[in-house]
Structure 1
């Protein structure tokens, strides 16, 4: 009997000491999940049941809050870069205003949490989890609006479906800077490395596309220049139409030239774009 009582007391002492250590560990943000689970499974936990239950709830709340913080942080970091662009802000004024409010609240919240690095105290501030949940919901709504905005652009210029959201946002965010579209041309048009651009005569800060260049360096001049002005999806549609029209006209003339140069095939091949000679 004495031995059994002594053994039980020793087990209870071990649990009590572990709880003390656990409480001390929170200041260093050490989550003793396995230790707590082991305690609850012990038949000697009865004397400390309320304390163990408290820590179980506290741990659950801390984990839930931290998870929500990370979730909000991921969305905030992604959207912050997007709403730094003036063009996007003009296109989505309502969402921009909503993000600005969340941006201020998020930075204030992070400053507060950074001021007290104790996980238990920090995550148990009144209304913190509810506020984070609300921020997360609003950020998701902003993301949906952004996705719908990108979808409208893709419907106007379907080749945008070849681009990731990040690439498309980069293009839309610099719609007033046509050269910024150049790195993405080969994703929109197969083997098109770049557009040949030049300033519009007599105009300030206006460019026009006068041709296209392949990855091999072959340049095909357009039949007529394309003004690169306005929404990027609009002038890219103009570029695509001009590409088709130019190639159709070149193919027509290429076939006529072939009939005249039957005996000079090598010279004919060198005078016309490769795609047209193959097709002709």
Structure 2
């Protein structure tokens, strides 16, 4: 009976270890062929990424699974592999989160700093945006050639790049908002316009007609003015 108990324990342990090994193999297999969708963005000459629901679900599910393995009494033969999976999945999730944040900021600011007028009025912010824009374009070129999610995002330097880029773009947005406030302080009727509407005017200073669509918001009963 004692021998049977020992055999039973050994078999039970082997079965539990096999279950962990199989789950780890299944996780690796699930990521094969999982790629970013890289989409050309307007007439910018560059692109943006699309992160599918499948990518987000795999990350969430596999992070939970790797955490469960971390607390398993049967993890010892696979401890290094489990630790590496946990580290990799968390890093990839962080990279994607920062990347998408940067993408949102870049998509908002890109058409603004595409304007020579805005760059002339805000040269320091123009340079700051341009620096991030160059990084963006280089990285999107790379991911177009190698769109594998896990391989591309398992990169601590990439996380640092997006984190710094986000800080820079947030600073640009803040200084842009402050600049718009100075314009409103100088001409109070600009308070009737949204930031985007005011930017639309400031980005076309050489075109007096650029103000026409916004006149009715600034001046009651004025729909248009004739330029001579």
- TM-score, normalised to structure 2, is 0.78
Q: Distance in 1 between matches of 2:180 and 2:134?
A: 26
Relative contact order higher in (CA < 8 Å, ≥ 6 apart) = 2
Structure 2 residue aligned with 1:187: 217
* Pick aligned residue for 1:35 from 49, 62, 65: 65
Q: Secondary structure at the match of 2:226?
A: strand
* Pick aligned residue for 1:5 from 10, 28, 37: 10
Q: Distance in 2 between matches of 1:50 and 1:68?
A: 27
Q: Secondary structure at the match of 1:127?
A: helix
* Pick aligned residue for 2:150 from 120, 125, 135: 120
Let me know the Cα RMSD of the aligned residues.
1.9
- TM-score, normalised to structure 1, is 0.65
Q: Secondary structure at the match of 1:21?
A: helix
Superposition map of 1:115-194 within 5 A: 115-125=145-155, 127-190=157-220, 192-194=221-223
Contact 1:82–1:169, Cα closer than 8 Å, also in 2: yes
Report which of the two structures shows the higher radius of gyration computed on alpha carbons: 1
Contact 1:82–1:88, Cα closer than 8 Å, also in 2: yes
Flag structure 1 segments of 5+ consecutive residues without an equivalent.
200-280
Contact 1:116–1:122, Cα closer than 8 Å, also in 2: yes
1:105 aligns with 2:139: no
Q: Distance in 2 between matches of 1:150 and 1:198?
A: 25
1:67 aligns with 2:72: no
- Structure with higher strand content: 1
Q: Distance in 2 between matches of 1:198 and 1:160?
A: 20
Structure 2 residue aligned with 1:197: 226
